[in-house]
Amino acid sequence: MLAGLSYAAVTDGSASAAAHSVTGQAQISEGRAIFLQECSSCHGLFAQGTPGVAPGLIGVGAAAVDFQVSTGRMPAKEPVAEQPRKPVSLTPQQIHSLAAYISSLGGGPAIPTSADISQAGANPGLGQQLFVADCAQCHNFVGAGGALTFGKYAPPLTKSTPRQIFEAMLTGPEAMPVFNNTTITPQQKRDIIAYVTQTRAEPNPGGFSLGRVGPVSEGLVAFIGLLLFMVLAALWITAKHGKAHD
């Protein structure tokens, strides 16, 4: 009986591992088919990249694929300086299969788990300090985004999910630098995410938000308001002067 139970335990474990391996290979194969159909025209048949068109994807990891495709930036319609956020064209299952295929080519950061992005115990106050020090120069103090050089821009974070924010810090898409788990620890990433998501629900104590982009929009409104006041004042003075002559 002892020998039989031991044999059963060993064979069940082997069968489970084999089934998992078969499932993984099937997912990678599905991802390869999706890649050839949706991505290979720019990134090359073997994800080696095309100079001047699209970078190589070997070693970028599953997290980079999940970020780019789940935000609709990829597959791209045309090469531009900064790919905008668009409606997603692939299903979550297709995205995970594509990510599994790219990950199989050379590793790289994995897709964050639910535990990685959990907001339990996150500190928005510390997250604000980290965001101001590392992110606000491009994304604005409240994540409203901003312009960069050479046609690039830091996108607003108003529609980004916690997983997408974590993946962006982990992989450094477009002009953004990479903040790996040594530079900014996973807990600090969760703190930053807590600050960004909390800021969205905060009221505007000064009245109209004006896009929350800072002094540019505020100065424009002040300039237009002053110009309108001067025009109205000129019309009033002219009308009053005409009546005096009459």
The pLDDT of residue 19 is 44
Spell out the residues 6+ positions from residue 50 whose beta carbon is closer than 8 angstroms to its own: 42, 43, 44
pTM score: 0.74
Calculate the average pLDDT of the chain.
Answer: 85
Q: What is the mean pLDDT of residues 99-128?
A: 93
Higher pLDDT, 212 or 112: 112
Which residue pairs, CB below 8 angstroms and at least 24 apart, start in 29-33? 29/101, 30/94, 30/97, 30/101, 31/97, 31/98, 31/99, 31/100, 31/101, 31/102, 31/104, 32/101
CATH class of the domain whose range is 118-229: mainly alpha
Higher pLDDT, 233 or 34: 34
Residue 168 has pLDDT above 80, yes or no: yes
> Among 179, 160, 195, which Cα is nearest to 66's?
160
The pLDDT of residue 18 is 46
Higher pLDDT, 166 or 209: 166
Give 153's DSSP letter. E
Specify whether the CB–CB gap between 140 and 213 falls below 8 A. Answer: yes
Q: Which CATH number fits domain 1-111: 1.10.10, 1.10.760, 3.30.300, 3.40.1840?
A: 1.10.760
Specify whether the CB–CB gap between 125 and 201 falls below 8 A. Answer: no
Domain with CATH 1.10.760.10 in the chain: 118-229
